[in-house]
Chains A and B, each alone.
Chain A
Amino acid sequence: METMIEAEGLSKSFRIAKRRPGLLGGLRSVVNPQVRIVKAVQDLSLLIKRGEMIGLVGPNGAGKSTTIKMLTGILQPSSGTVSVAGLSPLRQRKELARRIGVVFGQRSQLWWDLPLIDSLRLLRFLYRVPEEHHTANLDRLRSMLALDEFIDTPVRQLSLGQRMRGDLAAALLHDPELLYLDEPTIGLDVVAKARIREFLLAINAEQGVTVLLTTHDMDDIEMLCPRMLIIDHGRKLYDGTVTDIRTRFGGERILIAELNPAELMTLPHDADGQPIVTELPAGVRQVQAESPRLCLNFERDAIPAHELVAWLGARHRLRDVTFQEPEIEDVIRRIYEEGLLLQEDEASMPA
């Protein structure tokens, strides 16, 4: 089956009853409830093919968890259709559960008081995996995730990184076709993060597991996900590649020029003793000057890169020049704050 997840016009609204104070208020709330409607997800459509690795990004409260809940059968959509692995998540919840794996960053799916190995063995019965198959998977995951050093420790005593590896193993023991990860690298140190990312790339490449990953960590996205979805206020704002977003919205680039230290000294200095480049062209601003380097931010639209290099080179002798792409977080932040994607939508609509 080529299509893994197919959703059309998914929406979810919650009716929140307003609590009225006092004893009489409690009674009145039952008889005449005042409700307000919260639209958590509005008209979301997406198509995810088997074997893809996709990042789901959005501010808190954007509707990401609500979407995942609808995809896994925990929540019933208010409207729209969804099919995962050809099944209806709500009606065929148990059947679907057998084919997916889920990892929550903050809450473990393992049994708290038991040693990790017990949890992993127990899952065989939970998912009805044939014994040989289970043992083979377990061995493979043990070596891929280096579980042996703590596999006999009660889950409650594991460090966050260890527990995350345990959770990943638990989610994959039954050979799911699809893996949902909710903030998998949150709170982990750099080494642990790298390990997890390597693992995810491996299972995606070697076993073709489709991966849907929710995260606030942009490095996760950049290193793992060729495709990303941005969700905000319950709507899908963007569905495309990371580089595309950067080019469309990463309005600024950074020029890092290395000068001769003596050369830098010849520049006028400001009150803090920092060298300043004067009379910068429009759309260019100085960000930093730390001998022997000079960093200039420039807007793509204002001046092409080579022109800026030429301009600077005409004034000073340059030893080296490099360019840096904007941080994707800054890009995303700008999109949220300035509603850039919505502006684009409006711009592209017929007048």
Chain B
Amino acid sequence: MQISRTLKILTVLACFVSMPLSAAPQAPGSLEVNVKNVKIDGKPAKLSRKRFYLIPGGLAENSALLTRIKGAEITSKNCYYKGIQASDQYICWLQAENCESPFCRVVDGHYLEATDKLAVPEFIAAYNKGLPLYKGNTTIARQWLLTNMPDALVNGYYRQQQKVLGTVLAGLRPLQSSMTDTAGIRTTFLDIALPGTAGKSKYLVSNVLPIEIGDKSYVWTCEKDVETGKKAVLDISKAGKNCEVTVRDLKVCATTPCGEK
């Protein structure tokens, strides 16, 4: 009795061992997206720190996404800040270094001096709000300015961008997203696991969120084959049949001319 049970167990184990293994996973591929040579109206467009998304399938398979990209409602940075009644000085502070939010750079002391022509009322208000909270510690009140500013001024623009992103993607889940480097040369998608056993598969690369350059916005949507174990290179400056560039005019929201830079 016991011997037959042992035999049964051994038989089951043997079946497992002799079962054909599923095909070994293919070596992942990678895709370098080169943005260095992109030009707008003949001038180099530095696509620095821009997020690109990797989506399975080519342009044809993702036509619905392209339609949404073309139809997305876009509010420019200036219009957003104008819309929430940010002061002209605040908008100028952002514009001076092409910042999208105050997370961009350190607020220098003179922007907090009420008598300075560059003084930003929002920063001064946040500083004054912080002082009593930090027992009069001026250093902390200045360093932690962002914790005492209204949410719309600090995070609002980012949240709005994320909302646009969610609407355009409409539930589509990109495989990866990656940002271009500060020099505006490239970004790389690594470890792309190709489906099936084809050894090659088509992918879409798009910034999805329009990039503001001048008074226009740009979305690059390009397809590229990725091969197992190899690095593919996509140069979006060489936009041909494999690329769609969506260019749209941005609504202009006039802001007061900024004195510096």
The answer to whether A and B belong to the same complex is no
Interface residues of A (CB under 8 A from B): none
